[in-house]
């Protein structure tokens, strides 16, 4: 079964048996500033992160940001489509220090969810591309979004940092990193 975008980007067929769990983490009772996956093996073609997230602020929907290999420079960019059931909009940012991959809810007890594909993460001949599908529901006032991102660096990705744009990641926020062969 193909993953959104993977087949088009790599001209191959992906099956469910091509997914390998690399690592998972769940935030404990104390909120944390970020979650990081380190020492990512170069055994796969693509990576995928699946997550449910909530931040400690809980007053507005907040984005979840991602950086690679401890790079905080302004060599990232993103594009997004946003819908909330009554309106649609778009957003973009160049020369950023992150890509947007997720969102959480405005409701204090509601989580957002996202799936992010990181294409050709170990290819040292091109920049890295991300694609995310995400959303949240706050009793009918939620949002769905699609983001694409770019890290303008040819280094293989060996670590991934995820963090909320304000506040900390709250208890029960959960992240799973998968490697995709194919």
Tell me: the pLDDT tens digits for 81-104? 999 889 999 999 999 999 999 987
pLDDT at residue 1, rounded to an integer: 42
Question: Do residues 29 and 171 touch, judged by C-beta distance below 8 A?
Answer: yes
pLDDT at residue 7, rounded to an integer: 46
pLDDT at residue 55, rounded to an integer: 82
- Phi, psi angle pair for 17, to nearest 5°: -75, -5
pLDDT at residue 124, rounded to an integer: 98
Query: pLDDT confidence of 22, banded at 50, 70, 90?
Result: very high
Domain chopping of the chain, boundaries: 34-180
pLDDT at residue 58, rounded to an integer: 65
168 or 76, higher pLDDT:
76
Q: What value does the mean pLDDT of the chain take?
A: 89
Pair type for strands 35-37 and 160-164: antiparallel
Query: pLDDT confidence of 72, banded at 50, 70, 90?
Result: very high
Task: Say how far residue 148 (Cα) sits from the centre of its chain.
Answer: 10
pLDDT at residue 165, rounded to an integer: 86
The pair of structure tokens assigned to 130 is 């991300």
What CA–CA distance (Å, rounded) separates 164 from 168?
6
Half-sphere exposure of 71 (CA within 13 A, CB side): 24
pLDDT at residue 103, rounded to an integer: 83
Encode pLDDT of 169-182 as tens digits. Answer: 989 999 999 999 97
Question: Do residues 36 and 160 touch, judged by C-beta distance below 8 A?
Answer: yes
- Percentage with pLDDT > 70 across the chain: 87
Question: Do residues 62 and 55 touch, judged by C-beta distance below 8 A?
Answer: yes
Q: Which residues pair with 88 in a beta bridge?
A: 83
Residue with tokens 């091509």: 18
């Amino acid at each position: 079964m193909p993953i959104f975008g993977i087949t088009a980007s790599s001209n191959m067929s992906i099956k469910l048996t091509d997914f390998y769990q690399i690592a998972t983490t769940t935030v404990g009772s104390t909120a944390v500033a970020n979650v990081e996956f380190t020492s990512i093996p170069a055994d796969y073609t693509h990576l995928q992160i699946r997550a449910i997230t909530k931040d400690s602020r809980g007053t507005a929907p907040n984005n979840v940001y991602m950086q690679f290999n401890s790079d905080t420079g302004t060599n990232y960019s993103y594009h997004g489509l946003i819908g909330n059931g009554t309106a649609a909009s778009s957003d973009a940012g160049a020369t950023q220090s992150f890509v947007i991959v997720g969102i959480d809810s405005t409701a204090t007890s509601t989580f957002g969810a996202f799936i992010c594909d990181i294409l050709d993460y170990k290819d040292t001949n091109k920049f890295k591309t991300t694609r995310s599908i995400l959303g949240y529901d706050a009793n009918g006032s939620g949002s769905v979004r699609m983001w694409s991102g770019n890290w303008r660096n040819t280094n293989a990705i060996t670590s991934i940092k995820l963090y909320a744009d304000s506040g900390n990641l709250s208890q029960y926020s959960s992240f799973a990193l998968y490697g995709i062969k194919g």
